Each structure stands twice: as structure tokens, then as C-alpha cells.
């Protein structure tokens, strides 16, 4: 199970990480806190903020789950899109909601209740800022349109540079000023540390290369590798994760595969496997995560 680490207390996770890193100074520096804060956490684990809980989870996954998952010649059962799913609102609408909220949840602090209000009320709820509304609304509508085109209308989505830019515009319209355009600045990876993104002047050429090499990916193995490659390019100033995961969905639906759902439950492992693939060129943990997340979807 992917989520076994959620069943372990944060004090126990810190103890296990301490055994690996040996010194409390090393552990606190790795997390980015003081030794005093580390001591306080052990005494009052409920005081650990959501940000640091995620940091601890990612670190735990890197040290204890990635080595376990980083084995070659793994075989997984192919998860096909269920035949009855396209015509069953009770199946695909909840799936689209989970997928849409999950991709936003990974990168923002949006609450599930706020997302539900956005989708159910179709208007800006009271006490919600416009950007939060648009992030939720754009995510759901973009995924729904992909589903309608590929599954309901039976039209495979061509993975082209124009379509990728359109996806970015769909997600980020009203949220990001340069929606639909490649970035002209150096981009940071956020939680994927020590990873260098493509230089701004090389983005167009590298994206053409990405399309040539990966646009027709039709297995979860090749789609997972394509996803890591896309995020490594990081062509946009913001919203790369959302666009990248939407491309995963499109490629899966084109191949009639069940798309994996990434959300707060598997977020730590998602970051850990992505970083492992980008830094070390080892994709086995990421591929396994894709299969596990598709199976749970």
C-alpha cells in the first residue's frame, strides 16, 4: 500500500530518520528547522504544521520507501478504463472530482470543502477570493473537457505544442498573467530541490523534443517517464504540475488506460519518486506509483 507511511506517527518517523541521519543537527538542518523546534515536535507532535508534515513525509519516503521500490524488472497488471465508466455518471463524475481536486491539492492549500462549493455552486462563494475560485473551477472544467473529448466523443487528443499551451491557458486563466505562454525567466522547482530546469531560451526546442519522443506514449511506464521529463523542462512560470498531470490523463485516456490520481494522500511519494527519477535517472519507483495510483483510482 502506498499510504502505509500515513499510519506511522510523526514522532516515530522522526525517530527512524534520526537513526539514518545519526545527528539531530543533521536531521534539523535537512528539514530546515532548529534543534529546539525538533525537540518541541517530539514533545508536542500536534504542533507540526502542514508544511513540515509534508517535508517529513517526503524525507521518510526518500529514505525508507524509495529503496524498497527501486527494484528492476517489476511487473504490474495493466489497469484499463472500465467499459461502463464513460456512460455511468456515478462512476466518472466522482473520479473527475477526485482527479481535479487532487491536482490542485498537491500545489495549493485549497480545502476540499472550498473545492466542493466551487463545483456545486458554479459561482464565487462568499468569503472566497477570486484566484482560489478560478484554480478550482479551471481544474475541474479542464479535466471534464478532456474526458468529454477523448472518452465521450471518441477523439484522441493530439499532444502538440499548441495543445499544451492551450491546456496551460485553460488551467491558469485569471490565475497567472502569462497563461498559455512559455516562461522567459528561470523557474524554481519548489519541493523538487537541486533540480535544474531548462534555460528559458531553450524551452521551445526542448518541448519540441519532448513531443517528438513522448507524445505517443501509450503505457504507464512510458507515460510516467514522459511526465518526469515534462516537469524537468518546466516550460511555464506556474502551473507546470497541473498541466503535466493533465497530459498524463490525456495520454492515458488516448490509450484507454485508467489515469492515476495524485492528491494529498500520495503527494509525499509523488515528490519523492519524481525527485529520484530526475536526479538519478531511476524510474522504477515512479512507475510503481503510477500503477498504484491508477489502481486506487
Considering the domain architecture, whether residues 63 and 100 belong to the same structural domain is answered as no
Answer yes or no: are the C-beta atoms of 238 and 266 closer than 8 Å. no
The verdict on whether residue 138 carries a ligand-binding annotation is: no
Catalytic residue among 143, 168, 227, 234: 234
Residue 172 has pLDDT above 60, yes or no: yes
The answer to whether residue 234 is catalytic is yes
The verdict on whether residue 270 carries a ligand-binding annotation is: yes
- Per-residue confidence (pLDDT) for residue 2, from 0 to 100: 56
Residue 1 has pLDDT above 70, yes or no: no
The verdict on whether residue 240 carries a ligand-binding annotation is: yes
Residue 6 has pLDDT above 90, yes or no: no
Considering the domain architecture, whether residues 60 and 147 belong to the same structural domain is answered as no
What rounded mean pLDDT belongs to the chain?
Answer: 93
Confidence of residue 88 (pLDDT cuts 50, 70, 90): confident
Considering the domain architecture, whether residues 130 and 173 belong to the same structural domain is answered as yes
Residue 194 has pLDDT above 80, yes or no: no
- Per-residue confidence (pLDDT) for residue 256, from 0 to 100: 96
Considering the domain architecture, whether residues 49 and 126 belong to the same structural domain is answered as no
Query: How does 52-87 read in b/e, with b if 16+ C-beta sit within 10 Å?
Result: bebbbbbbbbbbbbbeebbeeeeeeeebebeeeebe
pLDDT tens column, 216-239 = 999 999 999 999 999 999 999 999
Supply the range of the domain harboring residue 33.
Answer: 2-69
What is d(CA 2, CA 47) in angstroms, rounded to the nearest whole number?
Answer: 25
pLDDT tens column, 243-289 = 999 999 999 999 999 999 999 999 999 999 999 999 999 999 999 99
C-alpha cell at 47: 504542533
- Per-residue confidence (pLDDT) for residue 125, from 0 to 100: 83
- Per-residue confidence (pLDDT) for residue 132, from 0 to 100: 92
Considering the domain architecture, whether residues 99 and 38 belong to the same structural domain is answered as no
CATH number of the domain that 135 lies in?
A: 1.10.3290.10
C-alpha cell at 164: 499544451
The verdict on whether residue 244 carries a ligand-binding annotation is: yes
Considering the domain architecture, whether residues 165 and 65 belong to the same structural domain is answered as no
Considering the domain architecture, whether residues 196 and 280 belong to the same structural domain is answered as yes
- Per-residue confidence (pLDDT) for residue 3, from 0 to 100: 60
- Per-residue confidence (pLDDT) for residue 184, from 0 to 100: 96
The verdict on whether residue 238 carries a ligand-binding annotation is: yes
The verdict on whether residue 245 carries a ligand-binding annotation is: yes
* ∠ Cα 27 33 37 (to 5°): 95
- Listing DSSP states for 117-140 in one string gives HHHHH-S--TT--HHHHHHHHHHH
Residue 288 forms part of a structural domain: yes
What is d(CA 155, CA 152) in angstroms, rounded to the nearest whole number?
Answer: 8
Strand partners, 257: 80
Considering the domain architecture, whether residues 235 and 129 belong to the same structural domain is answered as yes
SS (H, E, C) 32-86: CCCHHHHHHHHHCHHHCCHHHHHHHHHHHHHHHHHHHHCCCCCCCCCCECCCCHH
DSSP helix/strand/coil, 257? strand
* Mean pLDDT computed over 18-33: 93
Query: How many domains in the chain?
Result: 2
Q: What percent of the chain shows pLDDT beyond 70?
A: 99
Considering the domain architecture, whether residues 96 and 50 belong to the same structural domain is answered as no
More confident residue, 126 or 191: 126
The verdict on whether residue 242 carries a ligand-binding annotation is: yes
Considering the domain architecture, whether residues 108 and 176 belong to the same structural domain is answered as yes
Contacts 24+ apart (CB under 8 A), 45-51: 45/9, 45/10, 45/11, 48/10, 50/109
Residue 79 forms part of a structural domain: no
Amino acid at each position: 500500500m502506498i499510504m502505509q507511511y500515513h499510519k506511522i506517527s510523526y514522532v516515530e518517523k522522526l525517530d527512524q530518520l534520526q537513526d539514518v541521519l545519526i545527528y539531530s543537527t543533521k536531521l534539523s538542518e535537512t528539514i530546515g528547522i532548529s534543534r529546539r523546534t525538533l525537540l518541541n515536535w517530539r514533545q508536542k507532535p500536534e504542533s507540526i504544521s502542514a508544511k513540515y508534515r509534508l517535508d517529513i513525509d517526503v524525507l521518510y519516503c526518500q529514505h525508507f520507501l524509495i529503496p524498497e521500490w527501486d527494484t528492476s524488472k517489476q511487473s504490474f497488471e495493466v489497469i484499463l478504463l472500465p467499459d461502463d465508466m464513460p456512460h455511468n455518471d456515478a462512476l466518472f463524475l466522482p473520479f473527475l472530482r477526485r482527479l481535479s481536486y487532487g491536482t490542485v491539492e498537491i500545489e495549493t492549500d485549497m480545502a476540499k470543502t472550498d473545492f466542493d462549493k466551487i463545483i456545486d455552486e458554479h459561482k464565487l462563494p462568499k468569503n472566497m477570493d477570486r484566484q482560489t475560485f478560478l484554480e478550482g473551477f479551471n481544474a475541474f472544467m479542464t479535466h471534464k473537457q478532456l474526458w468529454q473529448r477523448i472518452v465521450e466523443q471518441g477523439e484522441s487528443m493530439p499532444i502538440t505544442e499548441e495543445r499544451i499551451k492551450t491546456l496551460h491557458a485553460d488551467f491558469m486563466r485569471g490565475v497567472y498573467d502569462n497563461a498559455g505562454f512559455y516562461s522567459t525567466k528561470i523557474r524554481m522547482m519548489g519541493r523538487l530541490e537541486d533540480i535544474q530546469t531548462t534555460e528559458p531560451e531553450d524551452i521551445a526546442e526542448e518541448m519540441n523534443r519532448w513531443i517528438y519522443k513522448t507524445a505517443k506514449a501509450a503505457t504507464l511506464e512510458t507515460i510516467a517517464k514522459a511526465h518526469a521529463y515534462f516537469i524537468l523542462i518546466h516550460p511555464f512560470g506556474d502551473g507546470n504540475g497541473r498541466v503535466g498531470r493533465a497530459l498524463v490523463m490525456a495520454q492515458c485516456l488516448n490509450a484507454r488506460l485508467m489515469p492515476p490520481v495524485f492528491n494529498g494522500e500520495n503527494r509525499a511519494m509523488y515528490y519523492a519518486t519524481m525527485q529520484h527519477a530526475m536526479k538519478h535517472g531511476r524510474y522504477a519507483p515512479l512507475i510503481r506509483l503510477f500503477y498504484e495510483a491508477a489502481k486506487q483510482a
